[in-house]
Amino acid sequence: MANLGNPQNTIELIKKYDFRFQKKYGQNFLIDTHVLDKIISAAGVTKEDMVLEIGPGIGTMTQYLAEAAREVVAVEIDDKLIPILEETLSEYDNVTIINEDILRLDIAKLADEKNGGKPIKVVANLPYYITTPIIMGLFESKVPLDNITIMVQKEVADRMQVGPGTKDYGALSLAVQYYAKPEIVANVPPNCFIPRPTVGSAVIRLKRYAEPPVTVADEKKMFSLIRASFNQRRKTLVNGLSNAPGIGLHKEKVAEALEKMGLSPTIRGEALTLSQFAELSDLL
């Protein structure tokens, strides 16, 4: 089987099937073998592992994963890619292709059937618009995870790992850091893809925590406070939380809680750490 990490082979395959790139799926196929190797080693894939690949495209990374893992389940939303995947992966008997929207798939059930409920590894090359729902869906649905190693837009990767006081810090940073330890393992320039994206990408590994780094009485409540405090970034936390629909907090109550924490009533959400949000949530 032709190595798809070679751009020429990728181009020939696309021509053979007269494949048209779909903007709505944000399709960019990786054509750099060094990056493929980096992803496999960052994810720590071994012959013991079941790997879930989201968005296999034409199967470039899937081939690498199939060589390294015990079993690969590749979930592809675009039905036009299924015949291509059937060809490029025909030599591997340890790959299952599922033509489905990952957000509609019961991944916990899949992990149970294919991996006996043991933690799975997730690898993906994700389009910008769907990165957050997919990552949060994996974390929140209590799927047993070892790590998620994904290729995303560079600025999204940065956002996942920054701390308080930076402009990229926000609800996504806090959510990711509550569930996992983020680490950027490679920056990937546009020329590593067909077609070339307009922005740079990065590979980031999210290593799932066994236990979250902070304890909070009500996880859902904490995240609704976090979202509300970043929905209106320019506002103070007191104003942001008292104006937020569905939260129903009085300014006095928020100011009082901040005072107990030794924080100024004019502080903004972007200045608080994860453990401070947990404390605030418990106080409120």
Q: Return d(Cα 100, Cα 79) in angstroms, integer.
A: 8
Q: What is the mean pLDDT of residues 232-252?
A: 87
How confident is the prediction for the chain on average, in pLDDT?
92
- Residue range(s) in the chain whose domain bears CATH number 3.40.50.150: 7-208
Q: Return d(Cα 275, Cα 96) in angstroms, integer.
A: 41
- Residue range(s) in the chain whose domain bears CATH number 1.10.8.100: 219-283
CB 240 within 8 A of CB 269: yes
CA 231 to chain centre: 21
Identify the pLDDT of residue 19.
84
> What is the pTM (predicted TM-score) of this model?
0.91
CB-count burial class (<10 Å; 0-12, 13-18, 19+) for 164: middle
Q: What is the mean pLDDT of residues 26-30?
A: 84
**Fold adopted by 7-208:** Rossmann fold (3.40.50)
High-pLDDT (> 70) share of the chain, %: 99
Kindly indicate the confidence band of residue 281, based on its pLDDT and cuts at 50, 70 and 90.
very high
Q: Return d(Cα 121, Cα 143) in angstroms, integer.
A: 11
High-pLDDT (> 90) share of the chain, %: 75
Q: CA-based diameter of the chain, in Å?
A: 67
pLDDT greater than 80 at residue 24? no
DSSP code per residue over 59-109: THHHHHHHHHSSEEEEEES-GGGHHHHHHHTTT-TTEEEEES-GGGS-HHH
**Fold adopted by 219-283:** Helicase, Ruva Protein; domain 3 (1.10.8)
Q: 114 forms bridges with which residues in the sheet?
A: none
pLDDT greater than 80 at residue 225? yes
pLDDT greater than 90 at residue 23? no
Identify the pLDDT of residue 1.
62
pLDDT greater than 90 at residue 22? no
